[in-house]
Amino acid sequence: MGITKTAGFSDDVNYFASLLKALGHPARLAIVEHLLQKKQCICGELVLELPLSQPTVSQHLSELKKVGLIQGTIEGKTVCYCLNPTIMNQLSNLFQRLTEGIIDSENNCC
């Protein structure tokens, strides 16, 4: 696989691309959806919710944390995760901007 060229794009475009790339895996999207439903920090229950092993879930959590989508707190040997509301609001605003210009279904563009 080749190197992704990002130099010609704005910092905002590259930033949102990294967030969307992290969400591009079904397991990660399922993790985010689960955290949205729970509306609280969760610890070990993600492994019970997903058809994946604990190390695989940990790897996906690590990728989401790396881009800032989730936050974690350590309590002894347990790490609890929740969504980062600032980043989630940024994503919401991005999708709102992207969908503002959608052509009305009566004005078929093609």
> Phi/psi zone of residue 39: left (φ > 0), alpha (ψ -120 to 50 degrees), beta?
left
- DSSP letter (8 states) at residue 43: -
Q: Please write the tens of the pLDDT for every residue from 85-95.
A: 999 999 999 99
**Could you tell me the pLDDT band of residue 110, with boundaries at 50, 70 and 90?**
low
> What does the block give as tokens for 82?
């929740």
Q: Please write the tens of the pLDDT for every residue from 42-79.
A: 887 888 888 999 899 989 999 999 999 999 887 777 78
Inter-residue contact 82 to 64 (CB < 8 Å): no
Question: Which helix H or strand E contains 105, and what residues bound it?
Answer: none
- DSSP letter (8 states) at residue 3: P
Inter-residue contact 35 to 72 (CB < 8 Å): no
**Domains in the chain, ordered, with CATH?**
11-93 (1.10.10.10)
